């Protein structure tokens, strides 16, 4: 009995961890059965990327598995060159300022290998400042919720030679020269600020002409992980609240609808509803602004909640 308890104690003392993602296991099984395709490979890439971006696995484990997936990508996409980009796509990438090339034709559904990708949240769709600010990796390393951390973030951008105006532009509107040198500058300066894992190998997939841009592995992960769209409460919510108040407790109809059924016109019902909504909105406008202000204030510093 003591021997079995010792085995259990050693087992529980090992702690918890994360194994291979389910999508990657399914890809390995499909490959063994000879049923491998780009769709299954892409799902395996998404599973691995999600574990890395959520810090479920370390960078060594990610790089080891990503190297294996990269070899599978090149095997299923034979038109690629050794660096993971086709000749035509490489020309387009050079012309677009260091960005991955567009789809070559309408049937281009290939997966490409990216040697260097930035670990910033949706930086190709936001400005560089917002992408770094909302990145959990950068926030944890620089403590950007403090004034000192925010100053370090802006100092980091200044040391790269980027003006604050450029960093606040959307990525597509940044200067072409800055976009071409962005990854190399971040890779050289980031270790000075403790950001040693800002650049990593990743993947992207084309969908022909069905989409205006390629789908990067990290972009797809953020799209899938955001289950609920963010919403800020404001004055427009008064219309929804007023509609709930007008309904009877037993699920009955509103007063406006009841009047319409009793012989009133649709115009009268709409006028009454607009008058009630305008009255409610003007009465609660200040309260909505105050509530939204304190919600934003509390988000800046959770240690000192506003009253």
Token readout for 96 is: 């677009």
* Residue 43 pLDDT: 92
Given pLDDT bands bounded at 50, 70 and 90, which one contains residue 283? Answer: low
Single residue among 194, 210, 226 that ends a domain in this structure: 210
The candidate with the shortest Cα–Cα distance to 127, out of 173, 181, 188, 64, is 173
The residue among 182, 210, 238 that closes a domain is 210
The residue ranking higher by pLDDT, 298 or 53, is: 53
Q: Which residue has the higher pLDDT, 153 or 280?
A: 153
Q: What's the whole-model pTM score? A: 0.60
Domain housing 58? 20-78
Lowest mean pLDDT among 78-92, 131-145, 188-202, 207-221: 78-92
Q: Are residues 67 and 123 in the same domain?
A: no
Cα–Cα distance between 248 and 189 in angstroms, integer? 63
Is 155 among the domain residues?
A: yes
Residues 123 and 206 both lie in one domain:
yes
- On whether residue 275 sits in a domain, the answer given is no
* Per-position b or e across 91-118, b if 16+ CB within 10 A of its CB: ebbeeebbbbbbbeeeebebbbbbeebb
């Amino acid at each position: 009995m003591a021997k079995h308890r010792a085995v259990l104690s050693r087992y529980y003392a090992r702690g918890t961890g994360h194994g291979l993602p389910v999508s990657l296991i399914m890809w390995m099984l499909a490959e063994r059965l000879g049923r491998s395709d780009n769709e299954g490979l892409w799902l395996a890439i998404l599973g691995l990327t999600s574990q890395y971006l959520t810090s479920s696995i370390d960078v060594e484990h990610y790089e080891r598995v990503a190297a294996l997936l990269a070899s599978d990508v090149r095997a299923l996409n034979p038109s690629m060159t050794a660096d993971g980009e086709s000749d035509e796509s490489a020309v387009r990438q050079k012309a677009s300022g260091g960005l991955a090339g567009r789809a070559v034709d309408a049937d281009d559904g290939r997966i490409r290998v990216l040697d260097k990708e930035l670990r910033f949240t949706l930086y190709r769709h936001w400005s560089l400042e917002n992408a770094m600010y909302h990145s959990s990796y950068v926030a944890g390393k620089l403590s950007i919720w403090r004034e000192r951390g925010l100053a370090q973030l802006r100092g980091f951008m200044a040391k790269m030679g980027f003006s604050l105006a450029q960093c606040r532009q959307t990525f597509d509107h940044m200067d072409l020269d800055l976009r071409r040198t962005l990854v190399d500058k971040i890779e050289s300066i980031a270790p000075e600020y403790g950001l040693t894992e800002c650049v990593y190998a990743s993947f992207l997939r084309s969908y022909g002409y069905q989409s205006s841009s390629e789908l990067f592995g990290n972009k797809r992960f953020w799209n899938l992980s955001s289950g609920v769209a963010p919403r800020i409460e404001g004055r427009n919510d008064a219309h929804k609240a007023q509609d709930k108040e007008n309904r009877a407790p037993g699920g009955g109809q509103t007063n406006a609808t009841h009047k319409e059924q009793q012989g009133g016109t649709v115009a009268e019902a709409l006028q009454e509803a607009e008058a009630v909504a305008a009255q409610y909105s003007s009465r609660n406008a200040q309260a909505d602004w105050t509530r939204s202000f304190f919600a934003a204030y509390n988000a800046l510093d959770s240690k000192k909640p506003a009253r």
